[in-house]
Chain A
């Protein structure tokens, strides 16, 4: 038990170390996440808009879920060697599937009557996308990003085995930092993941269009 309590003095004594590692950790997580957003959201939205590629969106998600991140990093060491790039590619591959499939679902699942009404009134495909599909799909798109963000931040820990740095350096190095350090690092990562999750939860609430929020509260009653 004293080991767990020992984690807190460790945090105080090593604030500088933990902050530096947190910085690295966020960089390793954020870059793959942004890349996955940049790629996954447009592809998912486009497929959803066209109501095509459900098979692709679902398969990518399932493959993504089935891939153990540790194995991924190990395999990638064979291809790209040790270092940050390896870890980032692995994290990108983890982050991409949820973003893609949520973005697809977000747009694909919008009531067809609404898009039919929009087209029937003379909206161009671009107007249907910008005025109807994206505003209504936005909360779900953000939900996908939220899932991936938490996944990336927590998984970045194991990226240390590819020599990428981050908080995993502390957690996986009991020899240097002791059990207190391992636990301190683990708590730190957990708190980081929760913070990221809550930040997106907030964004999610703000992103729901006003009329839809009304709908949600009306349904809740």
Chain B
């Protein structure tokens, strides 16, 4: 099995960036601790400084004041180029080199680091398997232009993981994908993240993506100030201020329901009268409460019957769906 280095924490210590000629800072004294192995989403409207925050970490942008540490080591302790080779970096539109094959793209950083050919070949094959592009031989010698957007993004993720960096930076990596591909790649990335445990800083402007992906969400507001930092459940339950509440949108109660799957709340087979449940629609255990609610609402029913792989797990009532009895607050336990 593939060996992966475990993640390392990222600490923002009053990190501030003021661009030359700008009156106000793009990022204002950001204090943020991303724990080892954690996936933190930076969200906010444009002008919130989220991409700036990300690019400060790999020094594509230089700090005006404050510090950022990876593990115990300040990013200014080493040369920017050396630093970047230890950080995975994936961006929107994948940023794949069009004149490189898939194999060559993935091998970018290992080649720079001077790995021998055999090691690079093995690693490339492992990574393609990991991101779900198999059989590997089919993909190695293709060019990015021959891949769909979702496939390109998978290669982009493989490339970022190539040298097994402890830290990953992702700048709206799925921003250009169509909704269906996007959901698929998000799911795959979450699975990869759980498997490899890289500390990941993930920029997105899409709050739904953040709610789905993040262990914790950092919401930045215009002027580059941190508005709130917390788990999706905390942020949705207790927005810190009006800005956060507005940013989360008027459906934040429903979004909170998207944090829990039906399978997590299903109470087991009940002794409900079959006459009562006869008209209830079927839902899959992997559906979120929000999705199940939508199904129930469409069927004008009072509840739903939960299935998992063809087996009937039990029933959930409308009341269970909108006021889930358990599991929402345990969500973090489920994720780690």
Q: In the complex, A114 Cα to B159 Cα: how many Å?
A: 13
Residue from the list B91, B143, B159 in contact with A210, Cβ < 8 A: B143
Please state if B84 and A210 are interface contacts (CB–CB under 8 Å): no
Q: In the complex, A123 Cα to B101 Cα: how many Å?
A: 18
Please state if B92 and A209 are interface contacts (CB–CB under 8 Å): no
For this complex, into which size category does the number of interface residues on chain B fall? 20 to 34
Please state if A124 and B91 are interface contacts (CB–CB under 8 Å): no
Please state if A211 and B144 are interface contacts (CB–CB under 8 Å): yes
Give the Cβ gap from B92 to chain A, nearest Cβ, in Å. 7
Tell me, yes or no, whether A78 is within 8 Å of chain B by CB.
Answer: no
Tell me, yes or no, whether B98 is within 8 Å of chain A by CB.
Answer: yes
Tell me, yes or no, whether B271 is within 8 Å of chain A by CB.
Answer: no
Please state if A114 and B97 are interface contacts (CB–CB under 8 Å): yes
Please state if B84 and A121 are interface contacts (CB–CB under 8 Å): yes
Which residue among A114, A117, A127 has the maximum number of chain B CB atoms within 10 Å of its CB? A117
Please state if B58 and A120 are interface contacts (CB–CB under 8 Å): yes
Please state if B101 and A211 are interface contacts (CB–CB under 8 Å): yes
In the complex with contacts A116-B60, A121-B108, A218-B145 CB distance below 8 A: yes
Which residues of the other chain, A, contact B81 by a CB distance below 8 angstroms? Answer: 122-124
Tell me, yes or no, whether B118 is within 8 Å of chain A by CB.
Answer: no
In the complex with contacts A113-B91, A121-B89, A127-B112, A211-B143 CB distance below 8 A: yes
Which residues of the other chain, B, contact A136 by a CB distance below 8 angstroms? Answer: 97-99
Give the Cβ gap from A88 to chain B, nearest Cβ, in Å. 36
Q: In the complex, A212 Cα to B100 Cα: how many Å?
A: 9
| Interface residue tally for chain A (C-beta within 8 Å) | 23
Please state if B144 and A122 are interface contacts (CB–CB under 8 Å): no
Give the Cβ gap from A141 to chain B, nearest Cβ, in Å. 14
Which residue among B55, B108, B144 has the maximum number of chain A CB atoms within 10 Å of its CB? B108
Please state if A121 and B85 are interface contacts (CB–CB under 8 Å): yes
Give the Cβ gap from A207 to chain B, nearest Cβ, in Å. 11
Which residues of the other chain, A, contact B86 by a CB distance below 8 angstroms? Answer: 122
Q: In the complex, A215 Cα to B143 Cα: how many Å?
A: 9
Q: In the complex, A212 Cα to B101 Cα: how many Å?
A: 11
Interface readout for B69-99 with A: 1 if CB under 8 Å, 0 if not?
0000000000001111111010111011111
Which residues of the other chain, B, contact A120 by a CB distance below 8 angstroms? Answer: 55, 58, 60, 84, 87, 89, 91, 169
Tell me, yes or no, whether A23 is within 8 Å of chain B by CB.
Answer: no
Please state if B109 and A121 are interface contacts (CB–CB under 8 Å): yes
Tell me, yes or no, whether B146 is within 8 Å of chain A by CB.
Answer: yes
Tell me, yes or no, whether A193 is within 8 Å of chain B by CB.
Answer: no
Q: In the complex, A218 Cα to B147 Cα: how many Å?
A: 11
Please state if B98 and A209 are interface contacts (CB–CB under 8 Å): yes
Q: In the complex, A218 Cα to B145 Cα: how many Å?
A: 8
Q: In the complex, A210 Cα to B92 Cα: how many Å?
A: 23
Which residues of the other chain, B, contact A119 by a CB distance below 8 angstroms? Answer: 60, 84
Please state if A123 and B60 are interface contacts (CB–CB under 8 Å): no
Interface readout for B109-134 with A: 1 if CB under 8 Å, 0 if not?
10010000000000000000000000
Give the Cβ gap from B286 to chain A, nearest Cβ, in Å. 34
Give the Cβ gap from B111 to chain A, nearest Cβ, in Å. 9
Q: In the complex, A202 Cα to B36 Cα: how many Å?
A: 54
Interface readout for A202-216 with B: 1 if CB under 8 Å, 0 if not?
000000011110110
Please state if A122 and B84 are interface contacts (CB–CB under 8 Å): yes
Tell me, yes or no, whether A192 is within 8 Å of chain B by CB.
Answer: no
**Which residue from chain B places its CB closest to the CB of A125 in the assembled complex?**
B81
In the complex with contacts A113-B91, A119-B84, A123-B112, A212-B99 CB distance below 8 A: yes
Please state if B145 and A132 are interface contacts (CB–CB under 8 Å): no
Tell me, yes or no, whether A135 is within 8 Å of chain B by CB.
Answer: yes
Give the Cβ gap from B66 to chain A, nearest Cβ, in Å. 21
Q: In the complex, A120 Cα to B169 Cα: how many Å?
A: 10
Q: In the complex, A131 Cα to B109 Cα: how many Å?
A: 12
Please state if A116 and B145 are interface contacts (CB–CB under 8 Å): no
7 contacts between A and B (CB under 8 A): A113-B91, A114-B97, A114-B98, A116-B60, A120-B58, A120-B169, A211-B144
Apart from the given pairs A121-B85, A132-B97, 15 other A-B contacts in the complex at a CB distance below 8 Å: A114-B95, A116-B95, A117-B97, A118-B108, A120-B84, A121-B109, A122-B86, A122-B112, A127-B112, A136-B99, A211-B97, A211-B144, A214-B143, A214-B146, A215-B145
Which are the 8 A-B pairs with shortest beta-carbon distances?
Answer: A117-B95, A209-B99, A211-B143, A122-B85, A122-B84, A120-B89, A215-B145, A211-B99
Chain A interface residues (CB < 8 Å from chain B) = 113-114, 116-124, 127, 131-132, 135-136, 209-212, 214-215, 218
